[in-house]
A and B are shown apart, each in its own frame.
Chain A
């Protein structure tokens, strides 16, 4: 379909076909959101099974094999199928609105990113049920070597089943999606800004998205190479990670963590961006030290590349390497601390409104600080030797990724839900949700500090009562179920808000940024008139400075918005077909997949498509 005017686009939006061919960044954002939230529930369910097993010593709820699949898939799901795509849903929906654009730079590439993500997620999770198809004598062949997949446990010799193949191929597929999104949003943010939207006027969420995108396009090639080498080891008899022919399993660890540490910031920076939007709005004060907050985010992105070996202190890289990586790791605490102080200064002297979004943002500061401080304790290599691979580390990164990223994401959900749907989520249910999740996560993860230091390693499906950590584990499990209840409250809140939520209007919160100038939900073309921006906080200065011409030259009929296209979906379908080839040892699948991709790209390139 070719480009259409905004007026004709508003009609006939509905039906499955329109969703399958959509190139509207807002619809793609919603697709990302619902898909990722579904996988958040899946990953959460896996977590609850894990916690149920560990509620008491010598647990017998799941077998060792199932447990190993559960913790592998919990980690993989939460990182790649829940948190990353949830941040993606926000930058898809909000970045064009925040920079005053009608869509992203490459709308069809954006659709392609989503479809590849969906297919990769389904591919990865198909392993739960794919045993019979592959004539393996059991139902589940889910990945079972950990989300970090350390060589040489992942070799064909020690992991003969298709489990690890699903993991390798699934991650390769998901990498394609992330990379495509990375290129798209870098160009969007750099090139599609409204007049006057200089780089140092960008909302901090958009800034952090930009840093995240640069991390994605630089980190994902590294894990792609790591995974391809592993695929070759498992499929074509090479010995990249095998000592038998001179290879070294540590190569995997280096490549994985060179990717893996930037990945941590890929997960955290967008949440920091959301918090930097929510705090000023509900404090009624502009962000304190905008420039410093932005530069510290950029600095964290850069420094994130120089710390990977702190995941490998127990490897024994020698005192020099240990000292260097300890120093770089400690240094990264400085820009992180600077951000926290700037947030506190933003709140200082404000008029704080404790909406649910604000509560989650405040929770982020409190919990992320705890995760950051425990992080400093294992930036010290000797101390880390007692902490790494224990529940202490599990506690640490859940304070960062749950207390940090997940809280930040919920702040964003409550903040932007009215913009996206036109209706406000219930604040009273929201506050119950926050209370449950706040208490729940602290009950779950705080005892894990002790569980770890009292000697319980990670990734064990059972432990003996003699360790003395049984009651702490029980508390942790109770906390996990409370947290799960909190998440279910959110699902209920979303459900009831569809019909019973209060109508939001353009700007229910008094926000400062451009997205609040347009109707909720936004029209397909976002802005009737592309605004001219004169400040970092255009909505707040507008009344004083009248910088934005409003209502002038209003001409929706002439606005061209991208039409739909089926070719991103077709192209995306070729990717998992290609990935099935090594799994089924079938060359024809590879050829078929390549043919579908080629066909899709050609039709895509030559279809008339207005941008």
Chain B
């Protein structure tokens, strides 16, 4: 088990950095929701019990190693074969410690899996190879990879899969939950306060499992409301003759519309919705920042940037790439 000081070191670092995004953005030691907090509290208790047992057992081991090392002229050891009282004692002692672990465990099991309170915001989370789709049925919003949640309000994430098993995990907001074809699983949480929380898929799901990242933007009610209004609003029409307009043509010509939903133009569901792509901070399953250079690299060679990518290399020439990017960035 970890020694005391090494264990606390990252804890202190995290505490110092808690205010900003800071280091360790996926640390389980920095709970930022009721769900994550309950787990952290439970783990801390179990951890100290484990430390106690660790110290006792390893201490005894070191003691006998030093105390009973072979010495010159020492008498032959007494052939002790056993001791009933001792056996009973060291059967009961661990059992007793386990009771102290089991009781809070059972409490946490039921509290973290309780039904969500009425009025919780329901979000459908769909895992795809290798990106996340988020649907807000009550709000009519559909988006990808970046989950926006209001701070301080209970939220229910209903998880399902479009292909293989994934696992939704944003460590600072709580434990992971598997996303299983044919099942709907659930995470209920209430984020403490505004902030950006990183996460990623935690169940091996094929070639680009490592690249199935996600972000949760927890926002105040007003910011969240503004975001929802932005997502519901129609995107501004592209100016005739502009680069964006040429890009719109390219978007159709290269078959992007075959897989991606784009405003009123396309309703395809194979890839992530791109209607308000310009309003997101990342692309390609949360893998790259949403800027011109990364968009160019990504669209230029998806399987090269993200192994196994279902989006093929459409061999878009540089000229079309530039207008395509201008178009995508205008879709805010």
A and B touch in the complex (CB under 8 A): yes
A→B interface (CB under 8 Å):
63-65, 68, 145-146, 150, 152-153, 158, 243, 247-250, 283-286, 288-292, 314-316, 318-319, 322-323, 326-327, 330-331, 333-334, 337-338, 340-342, 344-345, 347-354, 362, 365-366, 369-370, 373-374, 376-377, 379-386, 388-390, 446, 449-450, 453-463, 466-468, 540
Contacts of A284 in B (CB 8 A): 76-77
The answer to whether A63 touches B307, judged by C-beta atoms less than 8 angstroms apart, is yes
Of the residues B61, B171, B185, contact of A362 by C-beta under 8 Å: B61
- Among B76, B106, B167, B308, the residue within 8 A (CB) of A351 is B76
Total count of chain B residues near the partner, CB < 8 A? 90
In the assembled complex, the Cα of A383 lies from the Cα of B48 at a distance in Å of: 14
Contacts of B64 in A (CB 8 A): 344, 347-348, 350, 352
Report if A315-B101 is in contact (Cβ < 8 Å); known contacts: A153-B165, A374-B50, A385-B39.
no
Residues of B173-223 whose CB lies within 8 A of A:
174-178, 180-183, 185-186, 198-211
A291 to chain B, nearest CB (A): 7
B246 within 8 A of A: no
Measured CB to CB, the nearest residue on chain A to B203 is A389
Known: A326-B109, A373-B53. A366 touches B61 (CB 8 A): yes
Query: Judging by beta carbons under 8 Å apart, are A158 and B69 in contact?
Result: no
A389 touches B210 (CB 8 A): no
Residue in A337, A347, A377, A385 whose CB lies within 8 Å of B46: A377
Given B43, B65, B177, which contacts A314 in the complex, CB threshold below 8 Å?
B177
Give CA–CA (A463, B36) in the complex, Å. 23
Closest to A371 in B: B1
Asked whether, in the complex, the Cβ of B1 is within 8 Å of the Cβ of A370, the reply is yes
A458 to B76, CA, bound (A): 50
Q: Mark B91-112, 1 if CB is under 8 A from A, else 0.
A: 1001100100110011011101
Is A327 in contact with B202, judged by CB distance below 8 angstroms?
no
- Give the distance in Å from the alpha carbon of A63 to the alpha carbon of B163 in the complex: 23
Instruction: Let me know if B26 is at the binding interface, CB within 8 A.
Output: yes
Measured between beta carbons, the chain B residues less than 8 angstroms from A291 are 82
Cβ-based interface call for B119 (8 A): no
Contact B60 A150 (CB under 8 A): no
What are 25 sample pairs from A and B whose C-beta atoms fall under 8 A apart? A63-B307, A152-B165, A158-B164, A249-B182, A288-B83, A289-B81, A314-B175, A315-B180, A316-B177, A316-B186, A345-B80, A350-B64, A353-B70, A373-B1, A376-B101, A382-B42, A386-B174, A388-B176, A388-B202, A389-B203, A449-B2, A455-B24, A455-B25, A460-B210, A468-B23
Q: Are B91 and A338 in contact (CB under 8 A)?
A: yes
Give a binary string over B13-49; 1 marks a CB under 8 Å from any A CB, 0 the rest.
0000000000111111100000010110011001101
| Chain A residues whose CB sits within 8 angstroms of the CB of B181 once the complex forms | 152, 243, 249
B27, closest chain A residue (CB): A454
User: Which residues of chain B are near A384, meaning CB under 8 Å?
Assistant: 175
With a cutoff of 8 Å between Cβ atoms, the chain A residues found around residue B39 in the complex are 382-383, 385-386
Task: Point out the residues of chain A lying under 8 angstroms from B2, CB to CB.
Answer: 446, 449-450
Q: Which residues of B contact A338 (CB under 8 A)?
A: 87, 90-91, 94
Which residue of the partner chain A has the closest CB to B171?
A: A455
Residue numbers of B with Cβ under 8 A of A are: 1-2, 10, 23-29, 36, 38-39, 42-43, 46-47, 49-50, 53-54, 57-58, 60-61, 64-65, 68-71, 74, 76-83, 86-87, 90-91, 94-95, 98, 101-102, 105-106, 108-110, 112-113, 129, 163-165, 167, 169, 171, 174-178, 180-183, 185-186, 198-211, 307-308
Q: Complex Cα distance A540/B181, Å?
A: 61
Q: Which residues of B contact A463 (CB under 8 A)?
A: 210
Q: Report the bound CA distance from A456 to B200 in whole Å.
A: 9
Question: What residues on B are CB-neighbors of A322 within 8 Å?
Answer: 109, 113
Chain A residues with Cβ under 8 A from B23's Cβ?
468
Taken together as a complex, chains A and B put the C-alpha atoms of A285 and B2 apart, in Å, by 32
Across the interface, do B74 and A351 meet the contact criterion of CB distance under 8 Å? yes
- CB-based nearest A residue for B95: A334
Q: In angstroms, how far is the closest chain B Cβ from the Cβ of A507?
A: 17
Give CA–CA (A454, B82) in the complex, Å: 44
B57 closest partner in A (C-beta): A369
Which residue in chain B gives the minimum CB-CB distance to A363? Answer: B61
Residues of A near B36 (CB, < 8 A) are: 386
Q: Choose from A285, A323, A347 the contact partner of B106 (Cβ within 8 Å).
A: A323
Whether A382 touches B165, Cβ cut-off 8 Å, given contacts A291-B82, A349-B78, A455-B25, is: no
Cβ-defined contact, B10 with A380, below 8 A = no
CA A18 – CA B61 in complex, angstroms?
47
B27 touches A386 (CB 8 A): no
A349 & B25 in contact (Cβ 8 Å cutoff): no
Query: A459–B169 Cα gap in the complex (Å)?
Result: 15
Q: A470 to chain B: closest CB distance in Å?
A: 11
Residue of B nearest to A385 (CB): B175
Give the CA-CA distance A347 to B67 in the complex, in Å. Answer: 10
Report the Cα distance A284→B71, complex, angstroms: 13
In the bound complex, do residue A68 and residue B207 qualify as a contact, i.e. CB atoms below 8 Å apart? yes
**Which residues of the partner chain A approach B83 to less than 8 Å between Cβ atoms?**
288-289, 345
Q: How far is the CA of A466 from the CA of B198 in the complex (A)?
A: 10
CB-defined contacts of A63 to chain B, threshold 8 Å: 307
Once the chains bind, are A337 and B70 in contact (CB under 8 Å)? Answer: no
Q: Are A450 and B10 in contact (CB-based, < 8 A)?
A: yes
B105/A340 in contact, CB under 8 A? no
Tell me if B80 and A288 are in contact (CB < 8 A): yes
With A153-B165, A333-B98, A348-B64: A389-B50 Cβ-Cβ less than 8 Å: no
Point out the residues of chain B lying under 8 angstroms from A349, CB to CB.
68, 77-78, 80
Q: How many Å lie between the Cα of A383 and that of B28 in the bound state?
A: 10
A466 touches which of B25, B50, B206 (Cβ 8 Å): B25
Q: Are A369 and B58 in contact (CB under 8 A)?
A: yes
Asked if residues A351 and B109 are in contact (CB atoms below 8 Å), the reply is no
Asked if residues A373 and B50 are in contact (CB atoms below 8 Å), the reply is: yes
Closest 7 CB pairs of A and B: A385-B175, A455-B26, A460-B210, A243-B182, A64-B307, A341-B90, A382-B108
Residues of B within 8 A of A285 (CB): 77-80
Also in contact, A250 and B183, with CB within 8 A (given A152-B164, A454-B10): yes
Residue pair A389, B28 in contact (C-beta under 8 Å): no
- The distance from the CB of A527 to the nearest CB of chain B, in whole angstroms, is 26
In the bound complex, residues from chain A placing their C-beta under 8 Å from that of B58 are 366, 369
Other CB < 8 Å A-B pairs besides A345-B86, A377-B46, 7 of them? A337-B91, A345-B83, A373-B54, A390-B202, A450-B10, A460-B210, A463-B210
Most-contacted residue by chain B among A146, A152, A153, A353 (CB, 10 A): A153
Taking CB atoms, residues of chain A closer than 8 Å to B308 are: 64-65
Question: B43: which A residues are within 8 A, CB to CB?
Answer: 377, 380, 383, 386
What residues of chain A lie closer than 8 Å to B174, measured between beta carbons?
Answer: 385-386
Chain B minimum-CB-distance residue to A149:
B204
Selected from A152, A453, A461, the residue in CB contact (under 8 A) with B28 is A453
CB A321 to nearest CB in B, in angstroms, measures 10
A65 and B307 contacting across the interface, CB-CB below 8 Å: yes
**Complex formed: what's the CA distance from A460 to B175 in Å?**
18
Residues of chain A with a CB closer than 8 A to B180's CB:
249-250, 315
- A48 CA to B76 CA, complexed, in Å: 46
Q: Collect the chain A residues with CB atoms within 8 Å of residue B177's CB.
A: 314, 316, 385
Contact B210 A64 (CB under 8 A): yes
The answer for the CA separation of A370 and B3 in the assembled complex, in Å, is: 11
Smallest Cβ distance from A318 to chain B, in angstroms? 7
Instruction: Select one of A334, A352, A390, A449 contacting B65, CB under 8 A.
Output: A352
* Known contacts A288-B82, A385-B175: A153-B205 contact under CB 8 Å: yes
For residue A155, give the distance in angstroms from its CB to the closest CB of chain B: 8
A382 touches B27 (CB 8 A): no
A304 to B110 alpha-carbon distance, docked (Å): 25
Bound together, the chains give a CA A373 to CA B98 distance in angstroms of 11
* Bound Cα distance from A140 to B54, whole angstroms: 44
Residues of A close to B69: CB separation below 8 A: 352, 354
Residues on A with C-beta less than 8 A from B113 are 316, 318-319, 322
B185 touches A315 (CB 8 A): yes
